[in-house]
Amino acid sequence: MPKHQNLDLFSVIKNTQINTPVFLDKVSAGFPSPATDYMENKLDLNEYLIKHPAATFIVKANGSSMTSASIYSDDLLIVDRSIAPKNNNIVIASIFGDLTVKKLKK
């Protein structure tokens, strides 16, 4: 049986703000558009990315088995345990006590 790769765990620090500038103009995925210096707002990444702080943790990926899902070694993955997993979701699973990131196949 293959050895499963360990994941580094990080807890989410509550009541912190990470404000990042948000630009009004959208970024063109085709031909470039003129840039503007106007920023719309600041975006709190905790508020935007973490919907259920008490059920959320962050893991650092290790290995290359999930590159087909664009998950690479040292990527940080935000995990919300309050969301019920569905078929084909990317999940963090415990296998023989080791955490691993995989695509769920029911």
Burial group, residue 61, by CB count within 10 angstroms (0-12, 13-18, 19+): buried
Whether 65 is a known active-site residue: answer yes
Cα–Cα dist 59/90, whole Å = 13
Catalytic residue among 3, 51, 102, 105: 102
Catalytic residue among 14, 33, 42, 65: 65
Structure-block tokens of residue 4: 């499963």
Cα–Cα dist 73/61, whole Å = 5
Whether 26 is a known active-site residue: answer no
Phi, psi (deg, nearest 5) at residue 5:
-85, 135
Q: Which active-site residues does the annotation give? A: 65, 102
